[in-house]
Amino acid sequence: MLKFISFGSGSSGNCYYLGTATDALMIDIGIGLRTLKKHCRDYGISLSDVKHVLITHDHADHIKSVGSFSHDYTLPVYATPKVHAGIDHNYCITRKVADDMKMMLTVGEEVQIGEFLVRPFMVPHDASENVGYEIHVEGVNFVIITDVGCITDDIKEAISHADYLVIEANHDVEMLANGPYPAYLKQRIQSESGHLSNDSCGRALAENMTERLKHVWLCHLSEENNHPELARKTVESILRSYGIIPGKDMELEVLRRTMPTGMYELSI
């Protein structure tokens, strides 16, 4: 059975686990290694069972511990060449990924990584580069799209392929407009290379999801410009206006910023 856990989601650190009985990968290592080890102990997961790491982009909240994790467990790290270069140049990351552990991904090209068939696709965001992942394993299509400036055709296509989907609902447009952030930061977040609002997330879902979609997790919520309940309600009301009923047609949940989720079992 395929298992999924979110260990953290948002600007204080992102880290996701996806594992079968015999293979496992992590997506982004943006939380401290000690915290990650503790969470894994709590779930009865041995970190030495993790065999691969995928990175979306080179912002610190996604890569903080990737170098140490890769070093301590001798793990290959998959990312695009631009993201690898970005990690090398990121002054927040004290331990870099060793050259022989860097695995290069090409946007749009499928690659078999252990039991996982992985296709990275471009996601607009102001990092060196940012990708989402479509991951096919045990008959399930798992899709993750985080730190999203705007919805592109590639992203629409990925949503339409998803059985299980993690997608950003970063901010409420009004909370951001009236909130404490300086103007330049508000501008950055709203820009086409910034972050996705609850409204845009809801519309992207409603317009592109198919009947195969079973479960959506809203990720990377802003602490200052969003609330879990507000994000859920906004997305839910957009889905309802399209005749899609969360809880009946599919499950809709919000990922907490620093609290790990339960362990989900994903099947077809």
Q: How far is the CB of 59 from Zn ion (least distance, A)?
A: 4
Helix residue spans in the chain (DSSP H): 33-43, 60-63, 66-73, 81-89, 153-161, 173-178, 183-190, 198-208, 228-241
Residue 12 vs 94, nearer CB to Zn ion: 12
Q: Which is nearer to Zn ion, 40 or 63 (CB)?
A: 63
Name the site residues for Zn ion (rule: CB under 5 A). 59, 61, 147
Distances (CA, A) of 55 to 80, 83, 137, 139: 8, 8, 18, 23
Record the tokens describing residue 250, joined without a space: 């599919």
Q: How far is the CB of 62 from Zn ion (least distance, A)?
A: 6
* Nearest-approach distance from CB 120 to Zn ion, in angstroms: 16
Cβ proximity to Zn ion, 196 vs 230, nearer residue: 196
Tokens of 176: 């951001």
Residue placing its CB nearer to Zn ion in the complex, 59 or 232: 59
* Side chain identity, residue 91: Y
Nearest to 23 by CA among 43, 53, 44: 53
Instruction: Quote the least distance from Cβ 112 to Zn ion, whole Å.
Output: 27
Please provide the distance, in angstroms rounded to a whole number, between the alpha carbons at the two ends of the chain: 10
| Residue closer to Zn ion, measured from CB, 59 or 96 | 59
Considering the complex, what minimum distance in angstroms separates the CB of residue 147 from Zn ion?
4
